[in-house]
């Protein structure tokens, strides 16, 4: 057992306090750490926040209401909240080279909602909206509200299709954005899986959207944001980028020039976890002309800010400004490419044939499986992934035909390209030895599968052995 240190003492003491009130919660927290330590986490949207970031969330800031913005609160006694929110915004501006940063969104979806409404409020001109902008809500008549709903609900958005790698919040029906906007999607080239910018431009000219959205949750290549901005400008659209997945690669200066969205977009949204390695939350970066509207996110669409999470954002963004974060970001991409190459050598089929970023998509139909079967078989074997659609997916969004894998979390643990090749071998072993199952009536199942438990057990042990040299939260000893 290692000697006690500040981090071990902090987490051990916290669990003791929690255990005195509800021991089952303390047990679940401890079990989660144990599970994460023992599994190969390849979910592209997950990472491991630093102990400092985690500890910044568990404090008295949780007790404060702080609607409004720095220096303009609807509650008294927010001077300390002002401090941490201002710090988080300052770090964000400096890190990304942004004119303005808004750090209150609770999630990526919230950040996108703030951006959508800020764009609508900035772009849509109507007497009713002008009244709403100056907070004269009580003066709006029923006719004003009717006109406002017509104006705000009759706008168009052009974003990436789900099966090509887009996100639900980019105008799809299950999300509120799909109810707010008349949405159309651009896909990828059927032969290559890559964005065809000429086709995006053609779709924009035909559809004439108010908002052109770029960004993705499952596209394994870079996006040329300079070209996308040119397309937006050609039709008078506001250009919005959702960089939730690759914010860490932007912060770490892996994506620069045409591939850095911040200089090119009118407004950029992101989460603060994923590749940025902070707390779960969201953030909006924007040009000066949108700053006032963005800062109205609360109470426009957000509830009370979460000061304890903003404190953690300030810590994580400060960490991302350190030189070693750039090295981390570059290793994320090197690891993703090594993992992709290892899978290709073993005969796997990858969407676009590889990756330029932190993720890859395995088309598991080459193994005769659905994404759901592959996801569960891998989980049984100590490898945590998530199923994902592939372009023109025949199995739809629930069962899918793909598995999304990413390297931010394993890179945080210190694994390198050699370990990525071993990981590719483990993945291939599981998928190649899994077969589709059948329903009770003998018909083929898209969910059930057959995998020899001995194979799953062997791979689980190999995965755990691979991780022994890369302890997770090695400075934290709960025993």
Catalytic positions, written as ranges:
65, 67, 242, 271, 274, 280
Give the distance, in angstroms, between the CA of residue 118 and the centroid of all CA atoms in the same chain: 21
Handedness of CA 145, 150, 153, 155 (dihedral sign): negative
DSSP-assigned beta bridge partners for residue 282: 271
- 363 Rama sector, left if φ>0, alpha if ψ -120 to 50, beta otherwise: beta
Neighbours of 450 (CB within 10 A): 12
Q: Report the run of H or E that residue 332 belongs to, with start and end.
A: helix 323-345
The DSSP bridge partners found for residue 101 are 285
Q: How many CB atoms lie within 10 A of CB 386?
A: 20
For helices 417-432 and 371-380, angle between their N-to-C axes, nearest 10 degrees: 110
Residue 113 CA: distances (Å) to CA of 40, 69, 97, 433: 33, 17, 23, 43
Best CA proximity match to 315, nearest among 25, 76, 61, 31: 61
C-alpha dist (Å) from residue 304 to 110, 199, 309, 312: 12, 42, 12, 16
Are the C-beta atoms of 314 and 87 separated by less than 8 Å? yes
The SS3 call for residue 113 is helix
Q: Find where tokens 């020899």 sit.
A: 452
* C-beta atoms surrounding 385 within 10 Å: 24
Q: Is the peptide bond before 299 cis (omega within 30 degrees of 0)?
A: yes
* Beta strand spans in 168-320 (E): 181-186, 211-215, 238-242, 267-271, 282-286
Look at the block and give the residue holding tokens 């009130």: 21
Q: Dmax over Cα atoms in the chain, in whole Å?
A: 71
CA distance 10 to 8: 5
Kindly state the tokens that stand for 243: 């960089």
Q: Are 211 and 115 in contact (CB under 8 A)?
A: no
- DSSP structure class, residue 3: P
In DSSP terms, 182 is beta-bridged to 156
């Amino acid at each position: 057992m290692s000697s006690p240190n500040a981090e071990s003492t902090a987490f051990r003491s916290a669990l003791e306090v929690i255990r005195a009130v509800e021991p089952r919660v303390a047990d679940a927290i401890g079990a989660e750490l144990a599970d994460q330590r023992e599994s190969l986490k390849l979910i592209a949207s997950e990472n491991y926040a630093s102990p400092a970031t985690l500890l910044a969330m568990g404090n008295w800031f949780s007790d404060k209401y702080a609607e409004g913005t720095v220096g303009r609160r609807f509650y008294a006694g927010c001077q300390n909240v002002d401090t941490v929110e201002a710090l988080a915004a300052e770090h964000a501006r400096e890190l990304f080279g942004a004119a303005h940063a808004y750090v209150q969104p609770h999630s990526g979806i919230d950040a996108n909602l703030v951006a959508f409404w800020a764009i609508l409020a900035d772009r849509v001109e109507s007497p009713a909206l002008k009244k709403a902008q100056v907070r004269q809500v009580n003066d709006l008549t029923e006719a004003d509200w009717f006109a406002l709903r017509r104006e705000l609900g009759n706008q168009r958005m052009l974003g990436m299709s789900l099966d090509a790698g887009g996100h639900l919040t980019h105008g799809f029906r299950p999300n509120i954005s799909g109810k707010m906007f008349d949405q159309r999607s651009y896909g990828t080239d059927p032969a290559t899986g890559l964005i065809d910018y000429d086709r995006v431009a053609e779709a924009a000219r035909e559809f004439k959207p108010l908002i052109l959205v770029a960004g993705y949750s499952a596209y394994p290549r870079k996006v040329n944001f300079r070209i996308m901005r040119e397309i937006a400008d050609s039709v008078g659209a506001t250009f919005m980028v959702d960089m939730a997945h690759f914010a860490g690669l932007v912060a770490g200066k892996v994506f620069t020039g045409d591939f850095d969205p911040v200089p090119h977009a009118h407004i950029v949204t992101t989460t603060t976890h994923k590749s940025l390695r902070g707390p779960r939350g969201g953030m909006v970066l924007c040009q000066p002309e949108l700053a006032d509207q963005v800062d109205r996110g609360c109470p426009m669409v957000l509830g009370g800010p979460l000061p304890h999470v903003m404190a953690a954002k300030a810590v994580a963004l400060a960490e991302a400004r350190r030189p070693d974060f750039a090295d981390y970001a570059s290793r994320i991409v090197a690891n993703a490419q090594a993992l992709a190459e290892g899978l290709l050598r073993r005969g796997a089929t990858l969407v676009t044939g590889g990756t330029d970023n932190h993720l890859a998509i395995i088309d598991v139909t080459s193994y005769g499986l659905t994404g759901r079967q592959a996801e569960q078989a891998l989980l049984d074997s100590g490898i945590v992934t998530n199923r994902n659609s592939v372009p023109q997916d025949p199995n739809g969004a629930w069962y899918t035909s793909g598995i999304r894998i990413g390297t931010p979390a394993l890179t945080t643990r210190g694994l390198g390209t050699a370990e990525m090749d071993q990981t590719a071998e483990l993945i291939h072993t599981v998928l190649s030895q899994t077969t589709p199952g059948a329903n009770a009536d003998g018909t083929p199942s898209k969910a059930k599968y057959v995998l020899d438990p001995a194979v799953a057990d062997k791979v689980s042990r190999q995965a755990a052995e691979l991780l022994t040299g890369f302890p997770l939260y090695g400075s934290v000893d709960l025993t």
